[in-house]
Amino acid sequence: MAELAKATALILKTIKLKESDLIVTALTREAGRLSFLAKGARGGRSRFSAALGLLSLSELVYYDRRQLKLLSQADLLQSYPKLKRNYEHLQLAFRAARLLLKLLPEGGGDRASFELCAELLAYLDGQPLPAGSLARGELAFKLKLARVLGVAPRLDRCAGCGAPLNRPIHFSVARGGVIGPECQGRPPQGTPLAPGEAKGLQMALLLPFDKLERLKLPAQLVAQAQTMIERFLAYHLRPL
């Protein structure tokens, strides 16, 4: 018989199964992304209660089977109520969850990716944030996720030769970051950036979420960088 195991988990996705069961996908601190079968979770007297709500932090006890884990117990640790009462905050959190589900296979991720997701949810569970702050927070999450997954883009120097960024540069998804003139093709490939813009993205990567207000990134750059970094993640984490 499978052994009992315990995990601290952020609930990313649930799927209804049969009349009263759920398949739960969570990002755990101990083992990365895991899927669980929660029998009777949708019943009126379910022992799991609110612990399996989306974007909840819960402690799970389960039978550690080879494939779908069998959930035995779930206790709610944090529900992030302010986040869930704010539509814009909630939509950002859902986008982050979808990105994690897209990039992480079963068993993928580790303690660092769990902690990053928990930090984002705690940030969004605070005071209401203006649209500009939310956009910077989402961009920072994507950059930080690239770092914890081991594929952070090079933003402080040329990804090709390591030269300082003091001339017009381009961001190259395939080359792994910003590329200076000496390493560019003809015509230059990638998204054009100014050296100061690359420095701003580097600061978004390094600063904690609650310090992002220090950044004065133009809204157009943030929107452009959002798409750029998603393409970067998809390219470098694509299945082999």
In a domain, 28, yes or no: yes
Q: Are residues 149 and 51 in the same domain?
A: no
For 122-132, what is each residue's pLDDT tens digit? 999 998 999 89
pLDDT value of position 134: 95
Look at 186 and 21; give whichever has higher pLDDT: 21
Its domain, for residue 147, covers 129-236
For 39-90, what is each residue's pLDDT tens digit? 988 876 677 878 999 999 999 999 998 889 999 999 999 999 999 999 999 9
Asked if 222 and 203 touch (Cβ cutoff 8 Å), the reply is no
Unique residue bearing structure tokens 């490939």: 189
Q: Are residues 162 and 70 in the same domain?
A: no
Q: What percent of the chain stands above pLDDT 90?
A: 74
- pLDDT over 70 (residue 239): no
Q: pLDDT category, 19, cuts 50, 70, 90?
A: confident
Tally of structural domains, the chain: 2
Asked if 79 and 51 touch (Cβ cutoff 8 Å), the reply is no
Q: What is the mean pLDDT of the chain?
A: 91
In a domain, 204, yes or no: yes
In a domain, 69, yes or no: yes
In a domain, 176, yes or no: yes
Q: Are residues 223 and 142 in the same domain?
A: yes
Q: Which helix (H) or strand (E) holds 137?
A: helix 131-148
For 126-185, what is each residue's pLDDT tens digit? 989 998 999 999 999 999 999 999 999 999 999 989 988 877 799 999 999 999 888 887
Domain end (from 46, 80, 114): 80
Domain end (from 23, 48, 80): 80
Q: Are residues 159 and 229 in the same domain?
A: yes
CATH number for position 142:
1.20.1440.120
Instruction: Give the other-Cβ count within 10 Å of 15's Cβ.
Output: 10
62 CB-near residues (< 8 Å, 6+ apart): 4, 5, 6, 7, 36, 69, 70, 71, 72
Q: Are residues 73 and 133 in the same domain?
A: no
Domain end (from 39, 60, 80): 80
In a domain, 118, yes or no: no
In a domain, 88, yes or no: no
In a domain, 108, yes or no: no
Which pair of structure tokens corresponds to residue 141?
């999450």
CATH number for position 62:
2.40.50.140
